[in-house]
């Protein structure tokens, strides 16, 4: 494993001290590309939830390290730092190690989270996202029926009551192949144990009295009023500007399932809607094996990833890295 004290290197002075920051501090982790050069793209990873820290992706999905059983770090052979410089951000305020003593700093909508990025934006990807809830929630009973979770009679009964369907399934709604273990249906105790060690906090420059929580209920509840907002409405203008969009979804995820995601993508009104709708479905192949199905036209791509749940880079790391490299290189076709 990798020792925090002996092997971690930092990019010089990180700026203000904890004392200088006062009542508010944002937290992020920046990982340089292994073969870093001036042309490497910078990728910003924003974990969902809302209110779940960037460290979940950093240590469980596509960061440079995984956490070993003894809480040491081991290299991730399929980390996305192999293809980019990647910044994992604890956002919004109150998430992960980002904190404020002023309750007014807790965000209640997406607008306050997403400013100041557009000038540098060349492309963005949405992984198992909740983008157009009105369309996606209607796919719950259909997805459950298609996967044998419920019968046709049950489908007809609950189609008007999607939340009841989710509870009745009694499955891990992030991965229908599994039983739900833990509060979030994922065992995330290692990252919380690791990041709450005092020597780790010291190495990261985090205040000793700050407790790391994987997903903040405070942030989750604060964002509740934003839950059913249609976020697709701002995407067509980005596509018209030639900004690339990759929407990917693991086929075994229920809560933000591939069916609902594909429906909002196909229903989205933009100049390429018809051409995208008639685009052929092609195989996404990794090491000679079919790993997903892909539709694409112009700047828009939709990829269903096989044998993966809500956290695609954790469930299918090799396929996720190839997806990322191909999309960044402009040859995900």
DSSP 115-167: TT-GGG-SEEEEES--S-HHHHTTHHHHHHHHTTSS-HHHHHHHTT-HHHHHH
Residues of the chain by 3-state class (helix, strand, coil), percent to 5: 35, 20, 45
Nearest to 30 by CA among 12, 6, 48, 18: 12
**CA separation for the pair 75, 70 (Å, rounded):** 14
SS3 264: helix
**CA separation for the pair 186, 309 (Å, rounded):** 11
pLDDT value, residue 43: 79
Nearest to 2 by CA among 77, 75, 79: 75
pLDDT value, residue 258: 94
Beta bridge partners of 45: 88
Going by the DSSP 8-state scheme, the letter that residue 279 receives in this structure is P
What is 18-137+168-328's CATH topology?
Rossmann fold (3.40.50)
**CA separation for the pair 159, 168 (Å, rounded):** 12
pLDDT value, residue 70: 85
- What is the DSSP pairing of strand 289-297 with strand 300-305? antiparallel
Cβ atoms within 10 A of the Cβ of 197, count? 13
Q: Are 288 and 328 in contact (CB under 8 A)?
A: no
**CA separation for the pair 29, 199 (Å, rounded):** 17
- What is the DSSP pairing of strand 65-67 with strand 73-75? antiparallel
SS3 89: strand
> Mind listing the pLDDT tens digit of every residue in the chain (333 residues)?
444 443 344 444 444 444 444 444 555 565 666 665 667 777 778 777 777 787 888 888 888 888 888 888 888 888 888 878 888 877 776 776 766 555 555 555 555 545 445 455 666 777 777 777 778 877 888 888 999 989 998 888 877 676 665 555 456 777 878 877 766 677 788 888 888 888 888 888 787 888 888 887 777 777 777 777 788 888 999 999 898 999 999 999 988 899 999 999 999 999 999 999 999 999 999 999 999 999 999 999 999 999 999 999 999 999 999 999 899 888 887
SS3 302: strand
Beta bridge partners of 305: 250, 292
| Domain map (residue ranges) of the chain | 18-137+168-328
**CA separation for the pair 39, 85 (Å, rounded):** 10
Q: Are 307 and 251 in contact (CB under 8 A)?
A: yes
pLDDT value, residue 120: 53
SS3 26: coil
SS3 306: coil
Measured on CA atoms in the order 277, 281, 282, 286, is the torsion positive or negative? positive
> Which residues, in sequence order, are CB contacts of 185 under 8 Å at separation 6+?
172, 173, 174, 175, 178
Residue 269: HSE in the Cβ half-sphere, 13 Å Cα cutoff: 1
Going by the DSSP 8-state scheme, the letter that residue 6 receives in this structure is H
């Amino acid at each position: 494993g990798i020792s925090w004290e002996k092997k971690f290197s930092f990019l010089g002075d990180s700026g203000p001290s904890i004392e200088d920051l006062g009542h508010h501090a944002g937290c992020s982790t920046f990982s340089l590309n292994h073969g870093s050069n001036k042309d490497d793209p910078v990728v910003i990873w924003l974990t969902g939830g809302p209110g779940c820290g960037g460290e979940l992706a950093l240590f469980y999905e596509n960061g440079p390290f995984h956490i070993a059983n003894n809480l040491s770090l081991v290299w991730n052979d399929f980390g996305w730092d192999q293809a980019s410089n990647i910044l994992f951000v604890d956002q919004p305020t109150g998430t992960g190690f980002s904190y404020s003593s002023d309750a007014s700093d807790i965000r209640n909508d997406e607008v306050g989270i997403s400013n100041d990025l557009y000038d540098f934006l060349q492309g963005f990807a949405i992984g198992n996202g909740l983008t157009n809830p009105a369309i996606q929630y209607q796919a719950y009973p259909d997805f459950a029926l298609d996967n044998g979770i419920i019968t046709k009679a049950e489908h007809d009964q609950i189609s008007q009551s999607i939340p009841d369907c989710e509870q009745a399934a009694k499955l891990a709604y992030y991965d229908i192949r599994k039983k739900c273990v833990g509060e979030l249906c994922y065992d995330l105790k290692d990252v919380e144990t690791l990041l709450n060690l005092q020597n780790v906090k010291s190495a990261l420059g985090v205040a000793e009295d700050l407790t790391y929580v994987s997903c903040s209920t405070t942030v989750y509840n604060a964002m509740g009023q934003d839950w059913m907002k249609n976020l697709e409405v701002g995407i067509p203008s980005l596509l018209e500007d030639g900004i690339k969009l990759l929407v990917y979804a693991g086929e075994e995820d229920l809560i933000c399932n591939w069916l609902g995601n594909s429906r909002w993508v196909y229903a989205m009104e933009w100049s390429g809607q018809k051409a995208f709708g008639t685009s052929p479905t092609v195989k996404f192949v990794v090491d000679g094996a079919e790993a997903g199905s892909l539709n694409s036209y112009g700047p828009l791509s939709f990829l269903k990833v096989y044998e993966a749940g809500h956290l695609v880079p954790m469930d299918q790391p090799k396929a996720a890295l190839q997806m990322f490299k191909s999309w960044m290189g402009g040859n995900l076709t």
